[in-house]
Amino acid sequence: MADVNIKINGKDYTVPAGSTILTAARMAGIEIPTLCYLKEINEIGACRICVVEVKGARSLVAACVFPVNEGMEIFTNTPKVIESRKTTLKLILSNHKRECLSCVRSGNCELQKLCHDYGIENEYAFAGVKSAYAIDNSAAHMYRDNEKCILCRRCVAACEKNQGCGVIGANDRGFDTHIACAFEKPLADVACISCGQCITVCPTGALSERDDTQKVFDALNDPAKHVIVQTAPAVRVGLGEEFGYEMGTVVTGKLVAALKALGFDGVFDTNFSADLTIMEEATEFLGRYTKKENLPLITSCSPGWIKYCETYYPEFIPNLSSCKSPQGMFGSVAKTYYAEKMGIDPKDIYVVSVMPCTAKKFEAERRESTAVEGLADIDAVITVRELARMIKKAGILFRELPDAQYDAPFGLGSGAGTIFGATGGVMEAALRTAYEVLTKEELTALDFHDVRGVAGIKEATYTIAGNEIRVAVVSGTANAGKLLEMIKNGEKTYDFIEIMACPGGCVNGGGQPIQPASVHNFRDIRAERAAGLYADDKALPVRKSHENPDVKAIYDEFFGEPNSHKAHEILHTSYVARKKY
C-alpha cells in the first residue's frame, strides 16, 4: 500500500494510505483519546471523544474512522477540539452514577481518567433528569449496572463479533437507550455463556464480575475450615499487571507468597490438574481414535465453550471430552485423594480457585458430576482482579514479597500444563503425550508451532506412529461456530479439536486484568501474555504431563491408570443441552 504525506499539529509525517487519523497520530507518537473505539470490532465513531480538526473540513471529525489522504493537515489539541471533548464528557457525566470512590473500576476507568485529564471531574454543567435502572446481578458470574453505562457499545460488539452470541444490545431510543437483553430479560435467562469478554472491554464500572472475595475472607477466618487454593496457568502472567509489572511477566513466586500471606492452608498449582487432564483426555482421544467413535474429540477445559456448545450446538455434545476441566479435576482430587491423604473430612475442606475466567464461577455451580455427593468440587472462584483486590485490601506489598513455592502434593506442574493458558496449549500438551504413548519413543522437539499463535482458527495434520491425526485449534466462540458449521456441512474433517471461549485463550480471559482501549488497540495483549507462558514452559524441568512425578504418584496411589473406573467417577463429567431462547 502506498504512503501518504500529512501534517499533524504542524509537523510532517508519512503514513500508510488508508490509515485512520487515530492510527496515523499514534504512529507519530500522539495519543488521541477514545471511549467507544475498539480496533476491528467497534469502529463506529459514536462517542465523539476522538474528534480532531482537519483543515478544510466544515466540522470536527472522528479520528477513529476518518481516513487520511495526501496533504491532509490535522490538529489534535486546538481549543475547539478541547472544548468539544470537555462538553461531551460533561454530557456523559450528566447521566452517570458517580460512585468513583467505591466503584470497582476506580483508578482503572477510562471515563474517570479522561475527566481527570480534562479537569472536569466535579462539574455538573448539565444537571437534570437521570436514568434509573436496577442492577442486573442475576447471572452467576457478573453484574450489569446501567447507571454507569456510557453507551459505547463495546460490550455489544464483543458479544456479537468475538463470541457469536449477541445476547445484549441497545434497547429503546433517545434518552431511554440502554444496553440490555431482548425483552429486558435478566442475563441469567438468556443464552449468555459467562465468558466475561464484555467486562474486559467495558471502559467504566458498568460491568464487573460477581465479587466473591468476602466469601473467601470469611472462609480464611473460619477455624473449622481447611482452606486451600489453586491458581490457573494464565494467572502467573496476568496478576503482575495489577502491580505495575510489564505485560507477560511471570510472577509465580510472588503469587504463591501472596496467597500464603493471605492465610491459605495449602497453595497449589492448577498446572498439576492440567497435567492430570492431559492424562485423561489423551487416553480418551486415543481410545476414540482407535475405535473411530465420536470423532472429532473436542476439548472440555473451557467452561464458556462448554456452555456455548450446550446452548448453540448441542448436537456436538457427544463429541465433547468427558473430562472435567483442570479446575474441576483439582476440586475433585482435593475432596477425595487429598482429604484421604491428609486425614480431613471433605466437608471441612474449602477449595478456592484463582482463575483468569468468569465462566469458572458458573462452572463451579454445576452439579452434573461432583466427586463427593452433597459437596461442591469448588467452593469459591475468584478472578485475577479479585485476587489483586484481596492482596491490596490485606496490605500485602506484592512487589516486596520474597518468592515462594507451591505446596505438595499438587505443587508440581509441567510446562505442558503451563501452556494450557494460551490458545493451542491444550492441543500441544496432548500431542506431547500422545506422541510418546503411540510411538514408545522420546519426543525431543516439543514445540508444535502450527497450533501456536493468536489466529482464531488454526489447522494441522500430524503423522504419529503411522497414524494421520487431523487437528484444529479455535479461540473465540464466534470462530467455534464457524468451524462447527464447516464440520456439519462436510467441508472439514478433524480427529481432535481444541476450543477456547476467549480469543487467544485464557491469557485473554474475562477475569484477567483490564487494559484500556489505548492498549487493546495498539498492542496484542493475547500474544504478549502467551509469550510469558511459553517462556515459562521452556524454563521448567518437566515439560510433558506424563512425566510429572506428582501425577504419576496419584495414579500409583489412587486411580490406578488413566480412564480407570475410579478416574471416570471422580475426574469425568456429563453435559446438558440448554435452551437458546
Residues 237 and 204 in one domain: no
Closest to 498 in 3D by CA, of 468, 460, 467: 460
Residue 179: phi and psi, rounded to 5, are -90, 130
Write out the H or E segment, with its range, that includes residue 7.
strand 3-8
Please check whether residue 577 lies inside any domain of the structure. Answer: no
Which range of residues forms the domain containing residue 538?
Answer: 214-571
Domain of 85, CATH number, reads 3.10.20.740
Residues 482 and 360 in one domain: yes
Please check whether residue 103 lies inside any domain of the structure. Answer: no
- Whole-angstrom Cα distance, residue 509 to residue 505? 7
The pLDDT of residue 122: 67
Closest to 250 in 3D by CA, of 454, 506, 535: 535
Residues 321 and 342 in one domain: yes
Q: Percentage of the chain with pLDDT > 90?
A: 94
Residues 31 and 154 in one domain: no
Closest to 426 in 3D by CA, of 230, 255, 273: 273
Residues 538 and 555 in one domain: yes
Above 80 in pLDDT, residue 184?
Answer: yes
Residues 268 and 173 in one domain: no
Of 93, 110, 139, the domain-final residue: 93
Q: How confident is the model at residue 123 (pLDDT cuts 50, 70, 90)?
A: low
Any idea which residues carry the catalytic annotation? Answer: 281, 284, 301, 321, 360, 363, 368, 506
Please check whether residue 576 lies inside any domain of the structure. Answer: no
Calculate mean pLDDT across residues 335-342: 96
Residues 490 and 352 in one domain: yes
Residues 36 and 57 in one domain: yes
Q: How confident is the model at residue 369 (pLDDT cuts 50, 70, 90)?
A: confident
Residues 298 and 242 in one domain: yes
Residue 199: phi and psi, rounded to 5, are -65, -45
- On whether the CB atoms of residues 560 and 567 are closer than 8 A, the answer is yes
pLDDT (tens digit per residue) in 52-91: 999 999 999 999 999 999 999 999 999 999 999 999 999 9
Please check whether residue 265 lies inside any domain of the structure. Answer: yes
Q: How confident is the model at residue 97 (pLDDT cuts 50, 70, 90)?
A: very high
Of 194, 209, 224, the domain-final residue: 209
Q: Percentage of the chain with pLDDT > 70?
A: 99
For 510, the grid coordinates are 474475562
Closest to 497 in 3D by CA, of 320, 322, 293: 320
pLDDT (tens digit per residue) in 422-461: 999 999 999 999 999 999 999 988 899 999 999 999 999 9
Q: Within its chain, how far is the Cα of 480 from the centroid?
A: 16
The pLDDT of residue 237: 98
Domain of 251, CATH number, reads 3.40.50.1780
Calculate mean pLDDT across residues 378-394: 98
Q: Mean of the per-residue pLDDT values for the chain? A: 95
Domain of 159, CATH number, reads 3.30.70.20
Phi-psi region of 79 (alpha: psi -120 to 50; beta: other; left: phi over 0): alpha
Alpha-helical (H) ranges within 32-182 are: 79-93, 110-117, 154-157
Cis peptide before 296 (omega within 30 of 0): yes
Please check whether residue 202 lies inside any domain of the structure. Answer: yes
pLDDT (tens digit per residue) in 268-295: 999 999 999 999 999 999 999 999 999 9
Closest to 276 in 3D by CA, of 557, 556, 552: 552
Above 90 in pLDDT, residue 367?
Answer: no
Closest to 387 in 3D by CA, of 290, 261, 293: 261
Closest to 101 in 3D by CA, of 122, 128, 123: 122
The pLDDT of residue 125: 72
Q: How confident is the model at residue 247 (pLDDT cuts 50, 70, 90)?
A: very high
Total of domains in the chain: 3
